[in-house]
Structure 1
Amino acid sequence: MIDNKNYLIAIVLSFMVMITWHYTVNAPQMERQKQEQALLEEQQALEAAGQQDAASDGVGIPQPGGETGAPAVPQATPAAPANRETAVAATPRIPIETPEIEGSISLRGGRIDDVVLRQYRETVDPGSDQIVLLSPSGGPSPYYAEFGFVGASGQDVALPNADTIWELESGDRLTPSSPVVLRHEAGDLTFRRTISIDNQFMFTVADTVTNASGDAVSVFPYGLVSRHGLPDMANFYILHEGLIGVLGEDGLQEIDYDDLTDDGPQTFSTTGGWLGITDKYWATALVPEQDSKFKARFASGSVNAAGATTPTFQADFLRDAVNVPAQGEATITNRLFAGAKQVSIIDGYEEKFGIDRFELLIDWGWFYFITKPLFYGIDYFFHLTGNFGVAILLVTVILKLIFFPLASKSYKSMAGMKKVQPEMAKIRERHADDKMKQQQLLMELYKKEKINPLSGCLPILLQIPVFFALYKVLFVTIEMRHAPFFGWIRDLSAPDPTTIFNLFGLIPWDPPSFLMLGVWPLLMGITMFIQMRLNPPPPDPTQAMIFAWMPLIFMFMLASFPAGLVIYWTWNNFLSILQQYTIMKRQGVDVNIWENTRALFRRTKAEDAK
Structure 2
Amino acid sequence: MKGLYAAILLSMAVIFATNWLFPKKQAVPEASGEPAKVEVKAETAQPIAVADKTASAPDIETILKADKRVDIDNSAVRGSIRVKGARFDELYLDKYKETMEADSGDVELLSPAQSKAPYYAEFGFIDAENKLRLPDSETLWRVKGSKLTPQTPVVLEWDNGQGLKFIRKISVDDNYMFKIDQSVENNTGRKISLYPYGLINKTHIEGENTTRVVHEGMSGVLDSTLKEIKYSSLKDDKKEEFKSNGGWAGFSDHYWFSALILDNNQKSNVKFSKTGENAYQTDFVGQPLTVENGSVGTTEHRFFAGAKEITLLDKYSKDLHIDKFDLAVDFGWYYFLTKPFFYILNFLYKFIGNMGWAILLFAALLRLAMFPVANKSYESMSKMKKVQPKIQSLQEKFKGDKMKLQQEMMELYRKEKINPASGCLPMLIQIPVFFSLYKVLNIAIEIRHAPFIGWIKDLSAPDPLTISVLTHIPVPGFLDIGIWPIVMGLTMYVQQKLNPKPSNPDQARMFALMPLIFMFMLGHFASGLVIYWTLSNILSIIQQKVIMKKIGVD
TM over 0.5, shorter chain:
yes
Alpha-carbon separation, structure 2, partners of 1:544 and 1:454: 18
1:36 alignment partner in structure 2: none
Paired letter, 1:68: E
Q: Offset at 1:541? A: 1.4
Structure 1 residue 534 and structure 2 residue 505: aligned?
no
**Could you tell me which of 468, 474, 482 is aligned with 1:518?**
482
Q: For each residue in 1:514-553, what CA deviation from the matched residue of structure 2 results, as whole angstroms up to 9, or x when unmatched?
A: 3422111111011111111123533321222223322222
Q: For each residue in 1:492-528, what CA deviation from the matched residue of structure 2 results, as whole angstroms up to 9, or x when unmatched?
A: 00000012344x3xx5566442342211111101111
Q: Secondary structure at 2:490's aligned position in 1?
A: helix
Paired letter, 1:9: A
Q: Offset at 1:271? A: 1.2
1:589 alignment partner in structure 2: 553
Structure 1 residue 563 and structure 2 residue 527: aligned?
yes
Alpha-carbon separation, structure 2, partners of 1:234 and 1:541: 46
TM-score by length of 2: 0.92
| Identical columns (%) | 45
Structural mapping, 1:338-377, within 5 Å: 338-377=305-344
**Could you tell me which of 119, 140, 158 is aligned with 1:165?**
140
Please tell me whether the aligned partners of residues 525 and 555 of structure 1 are also in contact (alpha carbons under 8 angstroms). Answer: yes
Alpha-carbon separation, structure 2, partners of 1:500 and 1:351: 48
2:28 alignment partner in structure 1: none
Please tell me whether the aligned partners of residues 245 and 262 of structure 2 are also in contact (alpha carbons under 8 angstroms). Answer: no
2:191 alignment partner in structure 1: 216
1:137 alignment partner in structure 2: 113
2:462 alignment partner in structure 1: 495
1:336 alignment partner in structure 2: 303
Alpha-carbon separation, structure 2, partners of 1:234 and 1:440: 58
Alpha-carbon separation, structure 1, partners of 2:549 and 2:209: 47
Please tell me whether the aligned partners of residues 238 and 365 of structure 1 are also in contact (alpha carbons under 8 angstroms). Answer: no
Paired letter, 1:524: M
2:440 alignment partner in structure 1: 473
2:258 alignment partner in structure 1: 284
Paired letter, 1:147: F
Q: Offset at 1:467? A: 1.2
Alpha-carbon separation, structure 1, partners of 2:40 and 2:256: 29
How many residues align structurally?
Answer: 539
Q: Offset at 1:291? A: 1.7
Please tell me whether the aligned partners of residues 84 and 140 of structure 1 are also in contact (alpha carbons under 8 angstroms). Answer: no
Alignment CA distance shift 1:586-1:528 (3 Å): same
Q: Offset at 1:286? A: 0.2
Structural mapping, 1:431-442, within 5 Å: 431-442=398-409
Alpha-carbon separation, structure 1, partners of 2:211 and 2:410: 45
Please tell me whether the aligned partners of residues 86 and 139 of structure 1 are also in contact (alpha carbons under 8 angstroms). Answer: no
Alignment CA distance shift 1:67-1:444 (3 Å): farther
Q: Secondary structure at 2:304's aligned position in 1?
A: strand
Q: Offset at 1:334? A: 0.4
Alpha-carbon separation, structure 2, partners of 1:164 and 1:431: 91
Please tell me whether the aligned partners of residues 216 and 230 of structure 2 are also in contact (alpha carbons under 8 angstroms). Answer: yes
Alignment CA distance shift 1:348-1:126 (3 Å): farther
Paired letter, 1:342: E
Structure 1 residue 99 and structure 2 residue 75: aligned?
yes
Q: Secondary structure at 1:370's aligned position in 2?
A: helix
Please tell me whether the aligned partners of residues 204 and 335 of structure 1 are also in contact (alpha carbons under 8 angstroms). Answer: yes
Alpha-carbon separation, structure 2, partners of 1:327 and 1:370: 56
TM-score by length of 1: 0.84
**Could you tell me which of 107, 114, 119 is aligned with 2:95?**
119
Alignment CA distance shift 1:92-1:284 (3 Å): same
What runs of 5+ residues in structure 2 fail to find an aligned partner?
25-33
Moved more, 224-233 or 128-137: 224-233
1:190 alignment partner in structure 2: 165
1:68 alignment partner in structure 2: 39
Structure 1 residue 89 and structure 2 residue 86: aligned?
no
Q: Offset at 1:288? A: 2.6
Please tell me whether the aligned partners of residues 217 and 231 of structure 2 are also in contact (alpha carbons under 8 angstroms). Answer: yes
Q: Secondary structure at 1:203's aligned position in 2?
A: strand
Alpha-carbon separation, structure 2, partners of 1:400 and 1:297: 47
Please tell me whether the aligned partners of residues 482 and 491 of structure 1 are also in contact (alpha carbons under 8 angstroms). Answer: yes
Q: For each residue in 1:433-481, what CA deviation from the matched residue of structure 2 results, as whole angstroms up to 9, or x when unmatched?
A: 2112211221222222221111222332222211111110111111110
Alpha-carbon separation, structure 2, partners of 1:497 and 1:473: 20
1:593 alignment partner in structure 2: none
Alignment CA distance shift 1:140-1:569 (3 Å): same
1:261 alignment partner in structure 2: 235
Q: Secondary structure at 1:480's aligned position in 2?
A: coil
Please tell me whether the aligned partners of residues 501 and 515 of structure 1 are also in contact (alpha carbons under 8 angstroms). Answer: no
Please tell me whether the aligned partners of residues 147 and 223 of structure 1 are also in contact (alpha carbons under 8 angstroms). Answer: yes
Structure 1 residue 230 and structure 2 residue 205: aligned?
yes
Q: Offset at 1:200? A: 0.4
Please tell me whether the aligned partners of residues 384 and 500 of structure 2 are also in contact (alpha carbons under 8 angstroms). Answer: no
Report the structure, 1 or 2, having the larger helix content: 1
Please tell me whether the aligned partners of residues 115 and 133 of structure 1 are also in contact (alpha carbons under 8 angstroms). Answer: yes
Alignment CA distance shift 1:69-1:5 (3 Å): closer
Alignment CA distance shift 1:322-1:20 (3 Å): closer
Alpha-carbon separation, structure 2, partners of 1:408 and 1:567: 23
Please tell me whether the aligned partners of residues 470 and 565 of structure 1 are also in contact (alpha carbons under 8 angstroms). Answer: yes
Q: Offset at 1:558? A: 1.3
